[in-house]
Structure 1
Amino acid sequence: MKKDHRPYFVKKLYLDFQEFYVKHFLEPQFESLGTGFTFIKPWNVEIFGSPILLGDHANVIATSDKKIRLTIWSDSDEKGAIKIGNCCLLCPGVRISSAEEIVVGDNCMIANGTYITDSDWHGIYNRVVPIGNTGKVTLEENVWVGDSSIICKGVTISKNSIIGAGSVVVNDIPPNSIAVGNPAVVVKKLDEEKEFTTRSHWYADPKALSKEIDMIDRDMLKNNTLLEWIKTLIIPKKGN
C-alpha cells in the first residue's frame, strides 16, 4: 500500500472498533488495564493467566503473523506475574512469559520479536517436569529493548539502558548503558548529564496529543472518498 485510501470517517470507525474490542474482549483478561491505551489490531493479542497489569497510555501493536503474547504459567498460585508500567510500547511479536515475576517500568520500549522470560521452563537434568529454575526479571524506567532480543531469568536492566538488536541478556545491565551481543555486554555508557525525553513527556497532555493526531488524520485523508477507496480494494492499480 502506497497510501491510506480510506476516507476519514472509515478510519475513525475502525479505530473506534479497535477500542471496543479491547474493552469488550481484552480488558476482562487483565488484572488491571490503564487509561488512554492504543491497541493496533488487538485481536492479535493473546492473554493467558493472571495477574497481568498494563499501565496508562500503553501502545500495543500486533499483527496476524506476529502476535503479542502475555503468558503466566506457574507451579504455584502465589507465583507468576507480569506488571507493565505507564507509557510503554509493545511492538509486534513480543512475548512475555512468567512463572515468577516480570516487572517492566514506565516508558519502556520493547521492539519487534522480543522475548522476556523469568524461567528455564524445564530442569537441566529433569526435562520432564516443567517450569525449572526461575528468577524475577526487572526492566527499570525508560529501558529500550532492540529487535529480536531475549531477556532471560533473574536479570535486571537498569534505567535508561538500551539493549541492541538480537542480544541475549543473561546478566544485569547497569543504568545508562548500551549492551549488545550474546551474551549481552556493555559497549557504551550514556551521558548521564543529558536530559532524556521519554514517552511520558509525549503523553504530558493526552487530550492535546489525541486532538493533534486526529487533526493529522483529517488532513491526510481529507481528499479520500468512499467510492475511490472501494475501487482500490476491488480493482487495485499500480498507482494505488
Structure 2
Amino acid sequence: MIKDYRPYYIKKAWYRLQHLYIKHKLSPQLKHLGKNPFIVKPWHIELFGGPIHIGDNITLLGCSDKKTRLTVWSDQKNIHGITIGDHVLISPGVRISAANHISIADSCMLASHVYITDSDWHGIYDRSLPPKETSRVILEENVWVGDSAIVCKGVTIGRNSIVGAGAVVTSDIPADVMAAGNPARVIRPLDPEQKIITRKDRFSDTEAMTRLLETAEKEFLKENTFFGWIRSFFFP
C-alpha cells in the first residue's frame, strides 16, 4: 500500500478495535500490563504461560507473517518468567522463551526475528526430557539487539550496548560497546563523548506525543473519504 486511504474516523475505529482486543484477550494473560501500551495488530501477538510482566509505554508490533511470541514454559513454581521494562520496543517476529527468568530493562529495542532464551530446552546426552538447568538472561537498560540475533542462556548484555544483526550471544557483553558475530565478540566501544538518547528520553511524555500524532493523522487523512477508501480495495 502506497497511501493510507482510510478516513480519520475509520482509523480511530480501528484503534478502538485493537484496544478492545488488548483489554479482553491479551491483558488477562499477563501478570501486568503497564500504562499506555502501543500494540499494533495484537491478534498476531502470541502469549503462553507466565508470569509475563510488561511495563509502561511498551511498543509491541505484530505482523501476519511474523508472529511475535512471548512464552514461559516451566514445571517449577514461583519463577520470575519474563519481565519487560518501560519504553521497550519489540518488533515483529521476536521470540522470547523463558524456563525461569528473562529480564529486559527500560528502553531496550529488539529488532525483527530476535530470539532470547534462558534454556537449551533439551539435554546434551539425555534428549528425552527438558533439562532442569536454566540460567537467567539480563538485558540492561537501553540495549539494542539487531535483526535475527540470538541471545542464549546465562547472558548479561550491559547498558547501552548494541548487538549486530545475526549475532549469536553465548557470553556476557559489557556495557557501552558494539558486538557482532558467531559467537558474538566486542567490535568496538561506543564513543563516550557522544550523548545517548534513549526511548525513555524521547517518549516519556506520552500524552503530548499522542496529541501530536493525532493532530498529524487528522491533517494527513483529512481529504480521504469512505467511498475512496472502498475504491482503493479494487483499484489501489
Q: TM-score, normalised by structure 1?
A: 0.96
Gaps of 5+ in 1: none
Match of 1:8 in 2: 8
Deviation string, structure 1 residues 105-137 (Cα, Å, up to 9, x no partner): 000000000000000000000000114531100
Match of 1:61 in 2: 61
Match of 1:109 in 2: 109
Q: C-alpha separation between the residues in 1 aligned to 2:217 and 2:180?
A: 38
Whether the 8 Å CA contact 1:123–1:133 is kept in 2: the answer is no
| 3-state SS of paired residue (2:183) | coil
Gaps of 5+ in 2: none
Q: Alignment RMSD, CA only?
A: 1.0
Whether the 8 Å CA contact 1:84–1:104 is kept in 2: the answer is yes
Match of 2:78 in 1: 78
Match of 2:123 in 1: 123
Q: C-alpha separation between the residues in 2 aligned to 1:19 and 1:166?
A: 33
Q: TM-score, normalised by structure 2?
A: 0.98
Q: C-alpha separation between the residues in 2 aligned to 1:60 and 1:79?
A: 23
Question: Offset of 1:80 from its aligned partner?
Answer: 5.1
Tell whether 2:190 aligns with 1:217. no
Whether the 8 Å CA contact 1:145–1:163 is kept in 2: the answer is yes
1:171 alignment partner AA: S
Match of 2:138 in 1: 138
Whether the 8 Å CA contact 1:120–1:132 is kept in 2: the answer is no
Deviation string, structure 1 residues 75-128 (Cα, Å, up to 9, x no partner): 311335100000000000000000120000000000000000000000000000
Whether the 8 Å CA contact 1:72–1:80 is kept in 2: the answer is no
Moved more, 132-141 or 93-102: 132-141
Match of 2:97 in 1: 97
Match of 1:36 in 2: 36
Q: CA 1:80–1:129 in structure 2 vs 1: closer, same or farther (change >3 Å)?
A: farther
2:3 alignment partner AA: K
2:160 alignment partner AA: N
Question: Offset of 1:31 from its aligned partner?
Answer: 0.3
**Structure 1: 4+ residue segments shifted above 3 A:** none
Q: C-alpha separation between the residues in 1 aligned to 2:210 and 2:32?
A: 23
| 3-state SS of paired residue (1:78) | coil
1:53 alignment partner AA: H
2:10 alignment partner AA: V
Q: How many residues align?
A: 236
